[in-house]
A = this chain, B = another copy of it.
């Protein structure tokens, strides 16, 4: 009954899911079946499309309610959210910030925007995200804590923060990571760009970090066109997040006084309007995505040489992007599978190149990255849009 993985067997398996009259199936496309028109048109009719308007406030309230954080601040995108998160926890010039080598480029760039240096660490086979146990062992070797501050013994630089990323929506082992961060006096910032709707031990991702970042890019589980949010349970930091993402202007009816360096990172009202309509539908998207994942999971039980990436222990994943892993003997098929599926109009994708291999980050400090290297070669993302799961949702 086992099928051996190959470009052909993957193509025919995917065809079951994607069978439609469309000649192109996206990896992840948004679905606008709710109040998108109504809210966006309301912006146009009232003229409130920009920095003033009710949808930004409403979106922030909806995010607070959905994730359970005390304060959500809507911003222009996930990259901006990460940048400000790092500023908020005090990352400064020449600090090191620990991030996985296996993540989207924005995680590292946000560190660079603070004039700080990414320090790349390895991933876990189970979560695909930062491996907290391996990190703990590594810090024991290279780090030293003086005056409640962590230093890299080799470089002499302060290590200020750790930014785990919940890959494809699968949460990292947050309990263990929180413990490592406490031990080494490191600030925890969650890159939750991909994990809106994902829970670790029953609590939504974004609640463990002192601050966390969401993305509402067009490929995410909900979209605002471009957008993101800063999440925090620290109300002082929440207020500060709002202030510095809105040019640090001191409220006044007409005077222009800004009291610190600020950013124009506010989300325009028209994008927030789209976001409100999308968030209303998140409870509908999640079971569809879960049903699609379960379908894939079952299919891959019968495959030899490839396995489906299921949610980690203690986690409920949003299954934002479904992924398979090729086993060692079949990794050489990756590019053939990518080529065949994409040629037939079914979009698939490898995971990111390890950031430590990109020219601008090649000299950054790093630990042994053997698991991340294996993952880099063996992962293939497969079509994941919520609407594809519609037919599999249980009645």
Contacts and interface: CB of A to CB of B under 8 A. Distances in A.
Interface of A: 29-32, 36-37, 40-41, 43-45, 47-52, 76-80, 104-106, 109, 112, 115, 217-219, 223-226, 247, 249, 253-264, 266-271, 274, 338, 342, 348-350, 352-353, 358-360
A247 B106 contact: yes
Contact of A270 (B104, B106, B270): B270
Nearest to A254: B349
Given A30-B47, A226-B266, A270-B274, 17 more contacts: A30-B49, A30-B50, A32-B44, A36-B44, A40-B40, A40-B270, A51-B218, A77-B264, A105-B249, A254-B348, A254-B349, A255-B353, A256-B352, A256-B353, A258-B358, A259-B359, A268-B271
Contact of A218 (B29, B49, B223, B359): B49
A350 B254 CA distance: 7
B37 A260 contact: no
Copies in the complex: 2
B268 A226 contact: yes
B50 A254 contact: no
9 contacts: A32-B47, A40-B40, A76-B76, A76-B226, A105-B262, A253-B342, A261-B360, A268-B271, A271-B271
Contacts of A269: 225
Contacts of A218: 48-52, 268
A43 B30 CA distance: 11
Nearest to A77: B264
A350 B252 CA distance: 12
A76 B268 CA distance: 10
A309 to B, nearest CB: 18
A226 B47 CA distance: 13
B47 A247 contact: no
B268 A225 contact: yes
Given A41-B37, A79-B264, A353-B257, A49 B109 contact: no
A100 to B, nearest CB: 14
Contacts of A52: 218
Given A50-B219, A225-B49, A112 B261 contact: yes
A128 to B, nearest CB: 15
Contact of A247 (B105, B225, B249, B258): B105
Nearest to A76: B76
